[in-house]
Amino acid sequence: MTTAEKVQKRKPRDEKPFAHPYLAGTMLGLVLFASFFITGTGLGASGGLNRILVFFQDLVAPDHVNNTPYLLSLAGGDLNPLKSWIVYLTVGVVLGGFVSGWINGRIKAETNKGPQITVQQRWLFAFIGGAFMGYGARLARGCTSGQALSGGAVLSVGSWAFMFAVFAGAYALAYFVRKLWN
């Protein structure tokens, strides 16, 4: 994040507190509603990451992509996995997060962690957790955004079951990994 640091040096801003959860949630809901109202579909994040990843897999090993049914449906033959709205939405999320962080003076190269672990341990666990997330998100056909938030708002049974499963999984393990965060 060198660009971010430059921005910080040029124009130091005071770090502003986060918005009240109900306000942030209302804004999130309005964005989600706008997405449904304009395009008929909700939000997502893991789908975009998936397609960006498959794009690179297709560059490196096109034969492998063409021989793996799951990848084939995204990037087989002449299909360009980047030609999908979800990829642009994902890029938008990064831009929106950056601009908000910038305006509110919250862009800072740092590692957030519990006090009992080192920074390197935190990085390792972030990677491991991310791997679980990525795997689970593809198995569940969507992440917290695409399934829980979007499917939840339009009252899909599968999305609600999924949402409770995510919370159940996290709460069930929270006690055993409390050293990571407390």
Partner 1 sequence: MAPFPLNVFELFGEFGGYLVFLAIGFFFGYALEIGGFGKSDKLAAQFYFKDLTVLKVMFTGIIVAMLGVFLTSALGLLDYNLVWVNPTYLWPGIIGGLIMGVGFIVGGFCPGTSLVAMATGKIDGIFFVLGVLFGIFTFGETVEYFWDFFYSSYMGRFTLMDWLGIPTGYVVLIVVLMALFMFWGGEQLEKIFGGKDLNKEPKLRYAWAGGLIVIALAALLIGQPTIAEKWDSLAAEKEPLLEDSRAYQIHPGELLSVIHNDDIKLFMIDLRTESDYNLFHIEDAEHYTLEQLEADAATLRLEPSNAVFVVMSNNEELSTEAWKMLTAENLHNVYILEGGINYWLDVFASESSHNAKLVIRPGEEMTHTFNAALGAKHPAASPDPHLIEELEFEAKVKLELKKGPSGGGCG
Site for partner 1 in 37-96 (CB under 8 A): 37-47, 49-50, 53-54, 57, 68-71, 84-86, 88-96
What is the x/- site pattern for partner 1, positions 133-152, by CB under 8 A?
xxxxxxxxxxxxxxxxxxxx
The rounded distance, in Å, linking the Cα atoms of 26 and 20 is: 10
Least distance between partner 1 and beta carbon 97 (Å): 3
The rounded distance, in Å, linking the Cα atoms of 107 and 68 is: 40
Least distance between partner 1 and beta carbon 99 (Å): 7
Sequence-distant (6+) residues with CB within 8 A of 32 are 42, 43, 149, 150, 153
Smallest CA-to-CA distance from 4 within 100, 98, 82, 145 is with 98
Structure tokens at 145: 């955004």
Q: What type of residue is 75?
A: A
The rounded distance, in Å, linking the Cα atoms of 38 and 127 is: 36
What is the x/- site pattern for partner 1, positions 153-172, by CB under 8 A?
xxxxxxxxxxxxxxxxxxxx
Least distance between partner 1 and beta carbon 136 (Å): 3
Residues of this chain, 109-128, that bind partner 1 according to CB under 8 A: 109-114, 119, 122-128
Least distance between partner 1 and beta carbon 66 (Å): 13
Q: Is 13 in the site for partner 1 (CB under 8 A)?
A: no
Q: Is 9 in the site for partner 1 (CB under 8 A)?
A: no
